């Protein structure tokens, strides 16, 4: 099969069953999804439905029980620098300073120092952390840590950015700032983003497409293209058209939750 | 500002309590060994020499005792440095490679509950009365503590850091150097403190059974003539040495944990 240059991520009839001491749990059932290059796709669904499973499969942290997961037409065999991950919990390294965190990826891939420093400096400026470069994460606020996390992912120039409820633990205002920050970075330097969230508003604000999943075992319930222009203005969320679409997706979600999967 | 002042005041109050506690014990010792107008003290001097007798002894033997103390300190330092460095290294290698783990774990688990002191007769047979045998004994104790501590600490490293590192392109060996090693340091410090105190205890025991100098040797010789003031002096000196060594260790390891919350005032 020849890879389609436009399709970046492709999940084909993916099943994932977890075997635990308590028995087997089907997390994903017959899920197929295509994500185009430089597209932002948001996955929403009821909590515990298997959204994160989908993301972990693309990240290569787990392998599918059946079906295939491909990035650039190549089956995913494990984690790799082409797919950066931003988690909900803090995953920046607390023993490294802000700028050492940003340099981690390039250094791990063996880039020479004179190439790393410009990357780090540019990203520090881009996310407004230049004056905090020498601080340890302990000294930063939750929002700043998230920006370091995002910048660390970007510093590695990945083709795909996987985000697992990245702003879920932040307060409303910080969350909104981070959404804008992400869009600004993406406009600066486009890449393919798979964004898992339980917040429909966030999904509609950030995404080109919003994919709604059913409860466990998850499948794709609905896949809609977001019809709005992507202005960096949070007031966009309060327009009638936006709210109408949000309500529609809410209904889909609560419906799928009401009738248990067959 | 107000907050800052009160935490400092509290720290000072806590220090005062510690000092009072030391003075209290010394006072108790003084009282129970006191000869009041020719009457017998509460505890006979053979069983517990008075502070004055111990001080007298210290002044009499001050030069030799300094030498003995330094000999013991030197041996303990060697044992601790070699034993705990090797322990951390072996612990890391065991965590990294399952084969090594499977190969070494039965021996370590079998040897761990054995008190190292029980090995002294063999060590004397094999190595004679030598620095090597003494250092091996105390070093073995440190080694055992640090192997177990390291393996447990590696298990406690949050998976999310390893996943993040892998997604940033780090290979397994690189992750061990740049993620696992720094992440386990706070837990290693606990192990180092235990190992250091253990090294003093084991070295004293080793010196009692097979040495020609050192504080333990001095205590052993004094025992033969029931010279309890010297025994007491030896005990106090080992205690002081161990406490000072612990402070030095704390000072050096503080730099390694600037990134943690442990030194944040609360």
How far, in Å, CA of B25 to CA of B12, rounded? 20
**B156 within some domain:** yes
- Do residues B148 and B88 touch, judged by C-beta distance below 8 A? no
Same domain, B113 and B209: yes
Say whether residue B164 is in contact with chain A using an 8 A CB cutoff: yes
Same domain, B128 and B251: yes
Same domain, B191 and B113: yes
pLDDT score recorded for residue B3: 56
A155, closest residue in chain B (CA to CA): B168
pLDDT score recorded for residue A228: 78
**B191 within some domain:** yes
Same domain, B27 and B114: no
Query: Do B178 and A83 make contact, defined as CB atoms within 8 angstroms?
Result: no
Same domain, B64 and B127: yes
Minimal CA separation from A155 to chain B, in Å: 9
Say whether residue B261 is in contact with chain A using an 8 A CB cutoff: yes
Minimal CA separation from B259 to chain A, in Å: 5
Same domain, B84 and B14: no
Query: Do B167 and A94 make contact, defined as CB atoms within 8 angstroms?
Result: no
Query: Do A81 and B167 make contact, defined as CB atoms within 8 angstroms?
Result: yes
Say whether residue A152 is in contact with chain B using an 8 A CB cutoff: yes
Same domain, B198 and B253: yes
A158, closest residue in chain B (CA to CA): B168
Minimal CA separation from B57 to chain A, in Å: 50
ipTM topping 0.90: no
Reported as a pLDDT band with limits 50, 70 and 90, residue B106 is very high
**B114 within some domain:** yes
pLDDT score recorded for residue A262: 43
Full set of structural domains in chain A with CATH = 1-77+193-262 (3.40.50.300)
Number of domains in chain B: 2
Say whether residue A87 is in contact with chain B using an 8 A CB cutoff: yes
How far, in Å, CA of B226 to CA of A35, rounded? 86
Encoded tokens for B168? 């940033």
Q: Is the pLDDT of residue B227 over 60?
A: yes
The minimal CB distance from B166 to the residues A79, A93, A94 is found for A79
Query: Do B185 and A95 make contact, defined as CB atoms within 8 angstroms?
Result: yes
- The residue-averaged pLDDT of A17-22 equals 86
| Residues of A whose CB is below 8 A from B167 | 59, 79-81, 83-85, 162
Same domain, B86 and B3: no
**B50 within some domain:** no
pLDDT digits (tens, 9 = 90+) for A42-86: 999 887 778 888 999 999 999 999 989 999 989 999 999 999 999
pTM of the predicted model as reported, rounded to 2 decimal places? 0.84
DSSP string, chain A: -PPPSSEEEEEEEEEEEEEETTEEEEEEEEEEEEEETT-EEEEE-STTSSHHHHHHHHHTSS--SEEEEEETTEEP-S--TTEEEE-SS--S-TTS-HHHHHHHHHHHTT--HHHHHHHHHHHHHHTT-GGGTT--GGGS-HHHHHHHHHHHHHHT--SEEEEESTTTTS-HHHHHHHHHHHHHHHHHS--EEEEE-S-HHHHHHH-SEEEEEPSSSB-EEEEEE--S---S-GGGGGSHHHHHHHHHHHHHHHHHHHS---
**B186 within some domain:** yes
Same domain, B6 and B134: no
Full residue range of the structural domain in which residue B22 is found = 1-34
Say whether residue A59 is in contact with chain B using an 8 A CB cutoff: yes
**B252 within some domain:** yes
List the single best residue of B160, B164, B181, B260 to mutate versus A (max A Cβ within 10 A): B164
Q: Give me the CATH number covering residue B122.
A: 1.10.3720.10
Same domain, B6 and B70: no
Say whether residue A88 is in contact with chain B using an 8 A CB cutoff: no
Output the average pLDDT for chain A. 88
Same domain, B14 and B71: no
Say whether residue B181 is in contact with chain A using an 8 A CB cutoff: no
Reported as a pLDDT band with limits 50, 70 and 90, residue A2 is low
Reported as a pLDDT band with limits 50, 70 and 90, residue B265 is very low
Same domain, B3 and B118: no
| Residues of B whose CB is below 8 A from A59 | 163, 167
**B233 within some domain:** yes
The minimal CB distance from B169 to the residues A92, A94, A108 is found for A108
pLDDT score recorded for residue B142: 96
pLDDT digits (tens, 9 = 90+) for A211-220: 988 887 888 8
Count contacts between A and B (CB, < 8 Å): 66
Burial class (CB in 10 A: 0-12, 13-18, 19+), A180: middle
């Amino acid at each position: 099969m020849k890879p389609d240059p436009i399709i970046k991520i492709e999940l084909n009839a993916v099943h994932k069953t977890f075997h635990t001491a308590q028995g087997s749990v089907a997390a994903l059932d017959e899920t197929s999804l295509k994500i185009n290059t430089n597209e932002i796709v948001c996955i929403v669904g009821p909590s515990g439905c298997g959204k994160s499973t989908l993301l972990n499969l693309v990240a290569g942290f787990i392998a599918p029980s059946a079906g295939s997961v491909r990035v650039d037409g190549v089956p995913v065999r494990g984690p790799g620098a082409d797919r950066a991950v931003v988690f909900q919990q803090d995953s920046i390294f607390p023993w490294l300073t802000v700028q050492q965190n940003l340099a981690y990826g390039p250094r791990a891939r063996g880039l020479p120092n004179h190439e790393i420093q410009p990357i780090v400096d540019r990203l520090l400026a881009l996310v407004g952390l230049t004056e905090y470069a020498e601080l340890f994460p302990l000294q930063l606020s939750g929002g700043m840590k998230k920006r370091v996390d995002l910048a660390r992912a970007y510093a590695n120039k990945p083709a795909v950015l996987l985000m697992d409820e990245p702003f879920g633990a932040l307060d409303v205002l910080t969350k909104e700032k981070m959404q804008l920050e992400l869009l600004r970075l993406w406009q600066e330097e486009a890449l393919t983003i798979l964004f898992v969230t339980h917040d429909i508003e966030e999904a509609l604000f950030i995404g080109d497409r919003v994919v709604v999943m059913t409860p466990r075992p998850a499948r794709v319930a609905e896949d809609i293209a977001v019809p709005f222009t992507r202005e960096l203005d949070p007031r966009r969320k309060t327009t009638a058209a936006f709210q109408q679409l949000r309500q529609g997706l809410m209904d889909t979600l609560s419906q799928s939750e009401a009738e248990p999967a067959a | 500002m107000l907050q800052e002042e009160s935490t400092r005041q509290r720290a000072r109050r806590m220090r005062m309590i510690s000092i009072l506690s030391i003075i209290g014990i010394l006072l108790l010792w003084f009282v129970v060994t006191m000869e009041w107008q020719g009457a017998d003290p509460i505890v006979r001097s053979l069983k517990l020499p008075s502070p004055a007798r111990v001080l007298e002894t210290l002044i009499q033997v001050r030069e030799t005792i300094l030498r003995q103390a330094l000999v013991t300190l030197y041996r303990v330092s060697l044992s601790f440095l070699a034993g705990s460095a090797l322990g951390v290294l072996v612990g890391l290698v065991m965590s990294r490679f399952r084969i090594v783990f499977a190969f070494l774990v039965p021996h370590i688990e079998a040897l761990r509950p054995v008190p190292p002191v029980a090995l002294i007769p063999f060590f004397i047979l094999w190595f004679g009365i030598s620095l090597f045998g003494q250092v091996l004994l105390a070093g073995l104790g440190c080694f055992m503590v640090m192997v177990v501590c390291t393996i447990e600490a590696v298990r406690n490293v949050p998976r999310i850091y390893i996943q993040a590192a892998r997604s940033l392109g780090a290979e397994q060996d690189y992750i061990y150097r740049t993620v696992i090693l720094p992440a386990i340091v706070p837990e290693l410090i606990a192990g180092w403190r235990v190992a250091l105190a253990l090294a003093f205890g084991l070295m004293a025991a080793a010196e009692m059974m097979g040495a020609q100098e050192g504080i333990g040797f001095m205590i052993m010789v004094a025992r033969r003539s029931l010279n309890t003031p010297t025994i007491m002096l030896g005990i106090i000196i080992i205690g002081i040495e161990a406490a000072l060594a612990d402070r030095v260790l704390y000072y050096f390891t503080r730099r390694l944990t600037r990134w943690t919350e442990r030194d944040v005032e609360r």
